[in-house]
Amino acid sequence: MTASKSSRARNARTGAQAGAARGGTAVKNGNAARGGTAKSAGTAKPADIAARDRNARDQARNGAARSGAARRGAAARGPRTIEVSDAPAERGPAPWLQITTFVLALAGLGVSIYLTIAHFTESALAGCSESGLVNCTKVTTSAESYVFGIPVAVLGLAFFVFAAVIMSPWAWRDSRREIHLARIASLVVGIGFVLYLLYAELFTIGSICLYCTSVHVITFVLFVLTAFAAAAWGLKPGAPWKLVPERQPE
């Protein structure tokens, strides 16, 4: 009886010691696990920061590389300058103005030729009245039909021969400034002569000539179109300017 109790007591003490040993081991293992996790968590944070720093440095280097490439591209293109094309097809004012002035000059030349022939043959002008305000014969045979001893019809013929040349599309497209200055100067002289003849017809002779009036109108229209061309395209018409990259030195 006593021996059995002693055995049970020893077994109980042995079980208690084993449980305590297992509990201590579990506590140690738990503390070690928690310590390892804490250590792992502690070492993971600096690694993330280092990775973010590397990414930031990489992005900065990539941005600097792109900026450098953009600067090199801009330097390769260089600044832009103004260049004027010398293509003959693009020179001069609008084609409609070139053709209009040329046709008007040819029309004035035709009327001047007819008036010159009528003056030297002393023939009546076709379709022109011989009495009243419109009296071609009275005008063409008056003293005012001569200027410095030269018939006005001959002066008109010389003017329109020059006008037909200077108003041609080839002359409009020429790049020489002298040609465009000569055109303007001839029209200024021509319009001044027209004003003189109008004054002579209305206030001195007292009659007008329809053929002379047609020449006056043609001269006035040519003067207006030439002045407009000078204002719009300048005294040396050329191709429109454009921006082109400046050539870099070799």
pTM of this structure: 0.59
Please state which of the ranges 61-65, 88-92, 215-219 shows the lowest mean pLDDT. Answer: 88-92
For residue 224, report the phi and psi dihedrals to the nearest 5 degrees: -65, -45
pLDDT tens digit string along 88-109? 444 678 999 999 999 999 999 9
The whole-number average pLDDT for the span 44-62 is 70
Going through 152-201 in order, the beta strands assigned E by DSSP cover: none
Per-residue confidence (pLDDT) for residue 150, from 0 to 100? 93
Instruction: Assign 193 a pLDDT band (cuts: 50, 70, 90).
Output: very high
Distances (CA, A) of 208 to 74, 110, 201, 236: 71, 19, 5, 38
Q: Which two tokens stand for residue 3?
A: 């021996």
- Residues paired with residue 208 on neighbouring β-strands, in sequence order: 134
pLDDT tens digit string along 105-115? 999 999 999 99
